[in-house]
Amino acid sequence: MNPLIRIATRKSPLALWQAEYVRAQLLDHHPNLAVELVSISTRGDDTIDTSLRKIGGKGLFVKELEAALLDYHADVAVHSLKDMPMILPQGLVLGAICKRADPSDALVSNSFRSLNEMPAGSIIGSSSLRRKCQILAYHPSLVVKDLRGNVNTRLTKLDNGDYDALILASAGLERLKMNHRISDRISSKIVLPAAGQGAVAIESRADDPSTESFLRALHHHDTFRCVTAERSLVRILDGGCHSPVAAFAEHDAITHTIHLRALVGSSDGKKLLSDTLSGPMETPERIGEELAESMLSA
């Protein structure tokens, strides 16, 4: 009998794409595996008429999947890394981080090709305080209104005229073959991405070395180092402030260094603090911690 790996996943189209991607990668590297998907409803998906901030934050997209792991109903859980809390439950680990896709945010509009084209009073839909604060800092005359739901739900509201534009992750649109909906990939100089944006994470149990051995082939070391720097920064800043945080690290293969950029802002975009730090790729966690401590002191 072939070894079996059960993948816990949310039911949204993007989550299912990610789970199918991981299944295909596992089977490509381990043809004798049997891989099954275990679809699970999460509170974050079921409660779309309330701001995430009011009902518990991003962790609402992963708690039920993590419970399935801890209860041995699944062997791994697949997530968008940017949706994962910075501290994992006891007994769970990040078994693999897949190679990062485009980390940028995208402007999606039926009328405008860039933020610069949008006139004062134009309404942008986004549920992210990080995006809101940076958009308003760049273009203060825009209006950013809360918007929840999966990608298709949000696009329907745009097409119905409820919003003039949306801000969505470029990687998610690419994975759903919706590249044609992207009006502009927003420069990270205007909107710095969320920690882990564009990366698919595979969570597993710490006491399951067999599954971990299968996941090794899917692990991308350069992506892992970059997102480790980002997540260590956010972990510290989350504990010391309650403002929107952005973090993006890039790996320089020539100098073997990581260059980390970070931003903290007020939700209205009127106050922004940004800073950078570079360091050896062998110590990504320390780079994030040092930059976070420097920003907290500022």
Q: Considering the candidates 45, 83, 105, 184, report the single residue annotated as catalytic.
A: 83
Confirm whether 83 is a catalytic residue: yes
Burial of residue 194 (number of CB atoms within 10 Å: 0-12, 13-18, 19+): buried
Helix axes 221-240, 284-297, angle to 10 degrees: 30
- Of 75, 100, 90, 62, nearest to 219 (Cα)? 100
152 CB neighbour count, 10 Å cutoff: 13
Write out the catalytic residue numbers: 83
